[in-house]
Amino acid sequence: MALTKSQIQAALAEKTGLAKKDVSVVLDELANLAIKEAKNTFTVPGLGKLVLVDRAARMGRNPSTGESIQIPAKKVVKFRVASACKEAILKG
């Protein structure tokens, strides 16, 4: 089961000795910084990086009618997991 934001804050507060409110501010500012800097690639040390990727135009299919449709090119944000993180998760 996934941890909620308040559970993450509580766990980090307990590990670091900071108040939950301070941990909340740090998490919020990390998220704001990641959003602001994602267009230039934003790395979260030990976890991975946010990258902006150009997705090419392609043909798709409407699942309800089976009709072919043109899907336009667009930019998307992807998160690439760091190798060390991936290995640690898959080993355990």
Confidence of residue 33 (pLDDT cuts 50, 70, 90): very high
- Of 2.102.10.10, 3.40.50.2000, 3.20.10.10, 4.10.520.10, the CATH number of 41-92 is 4.10.520.10
Asked whether 19 and 41 are in contact (CB, 8 A), the reply is no
pTM: 0.76
What are the residue boundaries of the structural domains of the chain, listed by start?
1-37, 41-92
Q: Which of 77, 6, 3 has the alpha carbon at shortest distance from 35?
A: 77
What CA–CA distance (Å, rounded) separates 64 from 62? 6
78's CB contacts (< 8 A; 6+ apart) are 50, 51, 53
The average confidence (pLDDT) of the chain is 94
Whether 92 has a pLDDT exceeding 80, the answer reads no
